Every structure is written in C-alpha cells, then in structure tokens.
C-alpha cells in the first residue's frame, strides 16, 4: 500500500500517515496499513484497487488494468482464461476456503478449550469455598485438597496458554 501511494505522489511519513488526497487537510489523517488505507478525516478506505479507482475515477476493471500496467504485474487481464485455467482457479478457491474453514474451526476449538479451563478453575474455587476447613476440623475434606492442587495446575495452564489468532487474508 505504501509503495502504491508513493508511486502516485502521496508521501507517507515514518508513522505511516499521509495527507489524504480525497479532501483538504494540513495534517495527515490517512493511515497506511500493509494492505489497506483508512482516512480518519473523511472515512475513505480500502485496498490498492479502491485507491486507484478513487484517485483516477476509474471503473474496477480499468483500475485493475492501471495497477497491472503501473506496477508491471504481468497479470493476464485482457486474456480470457481457458477451461483448464478456470477449473484450476476454482479448485484453488475451494482449497483456500477449506483452509480458511479449518483455521476458523481450530480458532474456535482453541477458545473453547480455554473456556473449559476457566470453568474448571471456577469450579475449583467453588469447592475451595464450600469445603474449606472450619475451626475444630481435624482433617481436610478431600475435595478441598484436590481443588487446591488442581487450581494451581489450572493457574499454570491458563497463564501459559497460547492463543492462535486467525490469519487475515
């Protein structure tokens, strides 16, 4: 994104901000992210294609052609894909969708297992409160002892838990 903005004459500072080309301003309010931009002044945002469409008032297709030419991407935009190429693209799309679904399922399972730990930790707290010794008790209740031991282990697990973030596309 930064390279595209600079290619079209928009300077981006070290903090990742630029003067927005879509409205007048003296202080840069256009934040540049790795694959997108967002202007906190006018609310305009998007990807490189959105930028080129807005800068040059182009259709989506014309913006694709311009980006392809300006950055020498060599994409076969004007050529119609063969049946084999379309099938390969469909299979690739299905493969990406399956991988995304797998990542989402893993992400949910990760959170569910953490929530199971939290529930068990809370249950141990309940046992500790309900079965704590009172003055005059000669022995400790076995559930109290078990909950104390288990809760330390659960503390360790929860503090060392690794959350797997969903990858952004």
For the cut 80, the answer to whether the pLDDT of residue 164 exceeds it is no
State the residue range of the domain holding 41: 2-70
d(CA 69, CA 18): 24
Judgement on whether residues 94 and 57 belong to the same structural domain of the protein:
no
Question: Residues of the chain with pLDDT > 90: what percent?
Answer: 64
| pLDDT (tens digit per residue) in 5-37 | 999 999 999 999 999 999 999 989 999 999 999
Instruction: State residue 169's pLDDT score.
Output: 42
What's the rounded mean pLDDT across residues 98-110? 86
CATH number at residue 38: 3.90.580.10
Judgement on whether residues 94 and 155 belong to the same structural domain of the protein:
yes
Q: What is the dihedral of CA 42, 40, 44, 57, to 10 degrees?
A: 70
For the cut 60, the answer to whether the pLDDT of residue 143 exceeds it is yes
Judgement on whether residues 62 and 87 belong to the same structural domain of the protein:
no
Q: Give residue 107's pLDDT band: very low, low, confident or very high (50, 70, 90).
A: confident
* DSSP three-state, residue 105: helix
Domain count of the fold of the chain = 2
End-of-domain residue from the set 70, 101, 119: 70
End-of-domain residue from the set 46, 70, 94: 70
Q: Give residue 168's pLDDT band: very low, low, confident or very high (50, 70, 90).
A: very low
Higher pLDDT, 43 or 105: 43
Query: pTM, whole model, 2 decimals?
Result: 0.49
Judgement on whether residues 55 and 112 belong to the same structural domain of the protein:
no
What's the rounded mean pLDDT across residues 99-117? 87
Instruction: State residue 159's pLDDT score.
Output: 86
Q: What string of DSSP letters covers 44-63? A: -EE-HHHHHHHHHT--HHHH
CA 126-127-129 angle, to 5 degrees, is 65
Instruction: State residue 85's pLDDT score.
Output: 87
Query: Is 42 within a domain?
Result: yes
Query: Average model confidence (pLDDT) for the chain?
Result: 89
What's the rounded mean pLDDT across residues 131-157? 90
Judgement on whether residues 99 and 155 belong to the same structural domain of the protein:
yes
């Amino acid at each position: 994104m930064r390279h595209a903005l600079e290619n079209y004459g928009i300077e981006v500072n070290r903090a990742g901000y630029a003067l927005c080309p879509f409205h007048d301003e003296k202080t840069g309010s256009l934040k540049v992210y790795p694959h997108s931009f967002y202007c906190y002044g006018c609310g305009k945002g998007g990807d490189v294609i959105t930028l080129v469409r807005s800068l040059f008032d182009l259709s989506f297709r014309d913006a694709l052609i311009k980006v392809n030419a300006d950055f020498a991407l060599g994409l076969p935009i004007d050529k119609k894909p063969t049946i084999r190429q379309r099938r390969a693209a469909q299979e690739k799309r299905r493969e990406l969708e399956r991988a995304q679904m797998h990542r989402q399922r893993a992400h949910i399972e990760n959170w569910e297992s953490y929530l199971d730990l939290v529930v068990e930790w809370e249950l141990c707290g309940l046992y500790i409160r309900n079965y704590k010794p009172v003055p005059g008790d000669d022995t400790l209740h076995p559930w109290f002892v078990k909950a104390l031991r288990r809760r330390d282990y659960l503390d360790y697990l929860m503090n060392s838990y690794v959350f797997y973030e969903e990858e952004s596309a």
